[in-house]
Amino acid sequence: MAIRMAILAAALLALALSHGAMASDPSLLQDFCVADKLSQGIYVNGLACKDAKDIVAEDFFFSGLHMAGNTSNKQGAAVTAVNVAQIPGLNTMGISLVRIDYAPYGLNPHHTHPRSTEILTVLEGSLYVGFVTSNPDNKMFTKVLHKGDVFVFPKGLIHFQFNYGPTPAVVLAALSSQNPGVITIANSVFGSTPSIPNAILAKAFQVEKETVDMMQAQF
């Protein structure tokens, strides 16, 4: 009986570990798997590997994070991504990077990264940042950050950054996926194609249909 229980416990542990592994980027089985841009139509929970004989140093290189993003938009923020689309060598590495520029009073609006935790470092300026926990608590954690400060946004949770100061701000953030994805809440809800029926949105947000029409018109 003891042996059977030990075998059952080992099987349950293996199942739990395998489930955890499936919840993150695929692990490396070799030194690297440089994404083959000529095989964009082939996906194996990631991108197909480039032939080893064709790999060059440029597959692991990107230049441009010294350049400020264009913040002349409604939100006053610009994201410069460095993920597997920019560096093919990131394929299967489980990591990526972004630079975010904020105009004075600029906002990186409420969004989530479905495949990634984010750790953010302020390079210039000050930010008011926060994230909200999942149902049913929906507790918000916020912090004012200054140059050199670091903050973590847990995987999948809604978060934001707001430059409350009169000067521009810049951050560098690392993400725990080669392709973390981003779901901007307002865009997804009010700007989907085709649109979510306004009667459904009106009931979800407990507002009049006219209010929903006004919101959808912004996107």
Please tell me whether residues 191 and 113 are part of one structural domain.
no
Between 113 and 12, residue with greater pLDDT: 113
Residues 78 and 171 in one domain: yes
Cβ-based neighbours of 103, under 8 Å, separated by 6 or more? 71, 72, 76, 77, 163, 168
Identify whether residues 84 and 103 lie together within a single domain: yes
Residue 3: the pLDDT is 46
pLDDT at 25 over 80: no
Neighbour count for residue 207 (Cβ, 10 Å): 14
Question: pLDDT band for position 23 (50/70/90)?
Answer: very low
CA angle 53/55/60 to nearest 5° reads 160
Q: Please indicate, yes or no, whether residues 122 and 143 belong to a single structural domain of this protein.
A: yes
Within a domain: 51: no
Query: For residues 62 and 60, what is the distance between their CA atoms, to the nearest angstrom?
Result: 7
Residue 11 lies in a domain: no
Quote the pLDDT of residue 43.
62
In a domain, 156, yes or no: yes
Tell whether 155 and 186 lie within a shared domain. no
Number of domains in the chain: 2
The answer as to whether 47 is a domain residue is: no
pLDDT in tens, 126-160: 999 999 999 999 999 999 999 999 999 999 999 99
**What is the model's pLDDT at position 41?**
64
Residues 109 and 208 in one domain: no
Identify whether 23 is part of a domain. no
Q: 19 pLDDT exceeds 60? A: no
User: Do 111 and 211 lie in a common domain?
Assistant: no
Tell me the pTM: 0.83
Quick check: 190 pLDDT over 80? Answer: yes
Cα–Cα nearest to 150, from 167, 127, 133: 127
Q: What is the mean pLDDT of the chain?
A: 87
In a domain, 114, yes or no: yes
21 domain-assigned: no
pLDDT band at 28 (very low <50, low <70, confident <90, very high): confident
Structure tokens at 27: 């692990």
How confident is the model at residue 164, as a pLDDT? Answer: 92
Same domain, 140 and 109: yes
User: Is the domain of 158 the same as that of 74?
Assistant: yes
28 assigned to some structural domain: no
Question: Which residue range is the domain that position 126 belongs to?
Answer: 63-181
- Based on the fold, state whether residues 125 and 194 are members of the same structural domain: no
Helix (H) or strand (E) holding 186: helix 185-190
What CATH number corresponds to the domain at position 162?
Answer: 2.60.120.10
Do 177 and 70 lie in one domain? The reply is yes
Q: Give the pLDDT band (50/70/90) at residue 31.
A: confident
Residue range 101-135, pLDDT digits in tens: 999 999 999 999 999 999 999 999 999 999 999 99
130/76 same-domain check: yes
Least confident residue range of 10-19, 56-65, 169-178, 188-197: 10-19
33-80: pLDDT as tens digits: 888 877 666 666 678 888 999 999 999 999 999 999 999 999 999 999
Tell me which residue has tokens 């973390």: 180
